Chains A and B, each alone.
Chain A
Amino acid sequence: MGRYIIRRLIQAAIMIFIVASLVAVFIQFIPGDPAYVILGEERATEERVEAIRDDLGLNRPIYVQYADWFGGVLTGDLGNSLISGRPIATDLRLRIPRTFELGGAAVLISVIVGIPLGVIAARYRNSAPDVLATSFAILGLSVPVFVVGPLLVLLLSVRTDILPASGYVPFQEDPVEHLKRLALPAFTLGILSSATIIRMTRSSVLEVLGEDYVRSARSRGLGERSVLFTHALRNALIPVITIIGLQMGTLLGSSVLVEYIFNWPGVSTYLIDGINRRDYPIVQAVILVIAVTFILLNLLTDLIYAWIDPRIKYD
């Protein structure tokens, strides 16, 4: 176990190194001169191009650029925005918690919806509740967030005015309004991952219900409810926890779209703004931050899994 953890940690460190290296040289892949691309044809005067090149360090040899960027990353300096001139790390410190808040709320919703529906589907297998729950799951997996999002806005805010359509209000200013604005994006993301949780819970509970110890619990005359909740569920939820961990990664990807739809000022809207304004240092920084988060989430999932399920192979 100890060796497994160490190996997994080293792997993650190597991955982060590779990702950081790739991101460092991303800017070299821009077709043409990055300074011209950033400024656009009409604004690209000689001095401006030189200034941008200086800002980005493009005048220096590539290995110096690379070492510089890497040194910055290690000390928490992700460079400055080309447009506002503000340090990117400062902006991110404000935005990362908002993205995590949205993701956390979505996971909470998906667990609250997903696990009960999955258990019900397994308990009443092949009857109406099962068909309903599994259909909901397939729909949840097939209908994209950028379809669910606008439709929810249409139903709950344009037509009925129950919830605000988009935007953000800090919690300290107005807690109720804050949660109201969180509701639609969190729900949009939550539906997506609840689908996977329903499917996983269902198949896992079904598998456990066929095990010997469940049969013997039944034969001892225990009621169906007691068998389900005290014997089956506890074991059935092990793989579900892993799936929830893996879902965090998927959520991180989908949150790019959801933040954009609901104008949630997290990491992803920062990325999209950066792309649209050709503010490449921002793009680099955000890609690095999301990829590293993704790697760490996967690491965490693997470790939790190894800890919960002693049968896991360490090689």
Chain B
Amino acid sequence: MTSGEQTQSQVVSEGQPGAGENQPSDAVLQLSRAVRNRTPTWRILLQNPRVTIPGVVIILLLLMALFAPWLAPKDPLRINAQIRLEGPSSEAWLGTDENGRDLLSRIIVGSRTSMTVALLSVTVATVLGVAFGLVGGYFGGFWEFATMRSVDVLLVFPPILLAISVVAFLGPSTRNLILVIGLLYMTRFARIAFGSVVQVKSREYVEAARVIGAGNTRILGLYILPNILAPIFVQVSLSLGFAILLESGLSFLGLGTPPPNPSWGNMIGAARGYLQQNAWFVFWPSLIISIAILSFNTLGDGLRDSLDPRLRQ
């Protein structure tokens, strides 16, 4: 009886390191196995409408930003006092702002600011964060302290406050905006990469790679990085949404893109003063910002559902 129990508990404890179903690393392995043996990843993704629908919207938004100067029907900066604050018409499809400028053209050209800041800042965040997380998680000890504690310091500030402080002291410019948003969201990537690396680095295939003489760079790049990509992709999508939110929030406060150049945020900021005269003025930029952020958030959720087998219900 006693010996039987002992054997059983031994079996359980021996089986544990490999068998814990809740370990994300196992989930990642399962996924990579599933991907290799059965359905290709892109097919899993294309089957999920929560990926495809926002995906299409995002592609359209990116195309709009890319071809903005050719798509805009009018000059977004041309002032015309005769047609101030008008509603939609055949002349100005979405109406005009307080200086008679064409709202549609301003929204199209404004998408450039939002998309540029979002893409570049999230690139900064991803590269910095993943590097911090990989180094901290893989080498441990001093490196873990140096990387993860500096991340903790950044997390002490509410994001928008840190962004406002930097802009207040360094002055508003696109470059400062990209750097500060990148730095802010780097923390998320660092934490995700760190957590994943700690779990993946003791797995057999990493040990095996080390035994056959692979160097640290090779192990990190070839064996560890590919296995932590799924949660990072999810985070990229969510962070793009937050970056757009933050950029337009700062522009709304007058601390981002300086007028007369259009950005979705500073358009809403300006429109606030003319709610009585032309409600369309506040409506259009509000709509496009909401669609953009909603798309990135939904895409992030969809990617998570599709890439993480634990969440498939």
Interface residues on chain A, size class: 35 or more
Q: With A139-B294, A290-B158 as known contacts, state yes or no: A144 contacts B165, CB within 8 Å.
A: no
A contact residues around B153 at 8 Å (CB): 15, 18
B210: CB under 8 A from chain A? Answer: no
Q: With A146-B249, A146-B252 as known contacts, state yes or no: A29 contacts B170, CB within 8 Å.
A: yes
For chain A residues 126-174, which have a beta carbon within 8 Å of chain B?
138-139, 141-144, 146-147, 150-151, 153-154, 158
Cα–Cα distance between A256 and B289 once the two chains are bound (Å): 19
When the two chains form their complex, are residues B255 and A146 in contact, meaning their CB atoms are under 8 A apart?
no
A135 CB to nearest chain B CB (Å): 10
B290: CB under 8 A from chain A? Answer: yes
Cα–Cα distance between A253 and B161 once the two chains are bound (Å): 6
Q: With A249-B158, A294-B157 as known contacts, state yes or no: A150 contacts B282, CB within 8 Å.
A: yes
**Residues 3-21 of chain A, each 1 if its beta carbon lies under 8 Å from chain B, else 0:** 0000000000001001100
Q: With A27-B169, A29-B170, A256-B160 as known contacts, state yes or no: A142 contacts B241, CB within 8 Å.
A: yes
When the two chains form their complex, are residues A291 and B282 in contact, meaning their CB atoms are under 8 A apart?
no
Cα–Cα distance between A252 and B265 once the two chains are bound (Å): 20
B contact residues around A153 at 8 Å (CB): 272, 275
Q: With A142-B294, A295-B156 as known contacts, state yes or no: A151 contacts B282, CB within 8 Å.
A: yes
Closest residue on chain A to residue B291 by CB atoms: A142
A91 CB to nearest chain B CB (Å): 18
Q: With A150-B271, A150-B282 as known contacts, state yes or no: A144 contacts B293, CB within 8 Å.
A: yes
Interface residues on chain B, size class: 35 or more
A31: CB under 8 A from chain B? Answer: yes
Q: With A287-B165, A291-B157 as known contacts, state yes or no: A261 contacts B170, CB within 8 Å.
A: no
SS class, residues of chain A in contact with chain B: helix
Within 8 Å by CB of B297, from A138, A272, A294, lies: A138
A contact residues around B208 at 8 Å (CB): none
When the two chains form their complex, are residues B253 and A272 in contact, meaning their CB atoms are under 8 A apart?
yes
B209: CB under 8 A from chain A? Answer: no
When the two chains form their complex, are residues B164 and A275 in contact, meaning their CB atoms are under 8 A apart?
yes
Within 8 Å by CB of B282, from A31, A154, A275, A283, lies: A154
B253 CB to nearest chain A CB (Å): 6
**Residues 267-283 of chain B, each 1 if its beta carbon lies under 8 Å from chain A, else 0:** 01101100110010011
For chain B residues 156-187, which have a beta carbon within 8 Å of chain A?
156-161, 164-165, 168-171
Cα–Cα distance between A291 and B275 once the two chains are bound (Å): 34
When the two chains form their complex, are residues A271 and B164 in contact, meaning their CB atoms are under 8 A apart?
yes
**Residues 248-273 of chain A, each 1 if its beta carbon lies under 8 Å from chain B, else 0:** 01101110110011000000000110
A30: CB under 8 A from chain B? Answer: yes
B149 CB to nearest chain A CB (Å): 10
B78 CB to nearest chain A CB (Å): 25
A213: CB under 8 A from chain B? Answer: no
A241 CB to nearest chain B CB (Å): 20
B50 CB to nearest chain A CB (Å): 10
A124: CB under 8 A from chain B? Answer: no
Residue from A15, A154, A272, A280 whose CB has the most chain B CB atoms within 10 Å: A154
Q: With A30-B169, A154-B275 as known contacts, state yes or no: A147 contacts B156, CB within 8 Å.
A: no
Cα–Cα distance between A252 and B157 once the two chains are bound (Å): 10
Cα–Cα distance between A55 and B152 once the two chains are bound (Å): 34
Cα–Cα distance between A253 and B275 once the two chains are bound (Å): 25
B117: CB under 8 A from chain A? Answer: no
B237: CB under 8 A from chain A? Answer: no
B248: CB under 8 A from chain A? Answer: yes
Closest residue on chain B to residue A18 by CB atoms: B153
B188 CB to nearest chain A CB (Å): 14
A26: CB under 8 A from chain B? Answer: yes
When the two chains form their complex, are residues A257 and B169 in contact, meaning their CB atoms are under 8 A apart?
no
B contact residues around A143 at 8 Å (CB): 286, 290, 293-294
B contact residues around A138 at 8 Å (CB): 294, 297-298, 301
B contact residues around A154 at 8 Å (CB): 275, 279, 282
A112 CB to nearest chain B CB (Å): 24
A211 CB to nearest chain B CB (Å): 15
Q: With A15-B152, A143-B290, A154-B282 as known contacts, state yes or no: A257 contacts B160, CB within 8 Å.
A: yes
Cα–Cα distance between A176 and B289 once the two chains are bound (Å): 35
Cα–Cα distance between A15 and B289 once the two chains are bound (Å): 35
A contact residues around B152 at 8 Å (CB): 15
When the two chains form their complex, are residues B268 and A158 in contact, meaning their CB atoms are under 8 A apart?
no
When the two chains form their complex, are residues A146 and B268 in contact, meaning their CB atoms are under 8 A apart?
yes
B85: CB under 8 A from chain A? Answer: no
A148 CB to nearest chain B CB (Å): 9
Q: With A15-B153, A150-B275, A151-B282 as known contacts, state yes or no: A26 contacts B169, CB within 8 Å.
A: yes
Cα–Cα distance between A140 and B4 once the two chains are bound (Å): 56
Cα–Cα distance between A27 and B286 once the two chains are bound (Å): 35
Q: With A27-B169, A138-B294, A142-B241 as known contacts, state yes or no: A19 contacts B156, CB within 8 Å.
A: yes
Cα–Cα distance between A294 and B276 once the two chains are bound (Å): 37
Within 8 Å by CB of B158, from A31, A158, A253, lies: A253
When the two chains form their complex, are residues B165 and A146 in contact, meaning their CB atoms are under 8 A apart?
no
Closest residue on chain A to residue B244 by CB atoms: A144
B-to-A contact residues, CB < 8 Å: 152-153, 156-161, 164-165, 168-171, 241, 245, 248-249, 252-255, 265, 268-269, 271-272, 275-276, 279, 282-283, 286, 289-290, 293-294, 297-298, 301
* 11 A-B contacts (beta carbon < 8 Å): A18-B156, A31-B170, A31-B171, A138-B298, A142-B297, A143-B290, A154-B279, A280-B169, A291-B156, A291-B157, A291-B158
Sample of 4 more A-B contacts, CB < 8 Å, known A144-B293, A147-B289: A29-B170, A138-B294, A150-B275, A287-B161
A-to-B contact residues, CB < 8 Å: 15, 18-19, 26-27, 29-31, 138-139, 141-144, 146-147, 150-151, 153-154, 158, 249-250, 252-254, 256-257, 260-261, 271-272, 275-276, 280, 283, 287, 290-291, 294-295
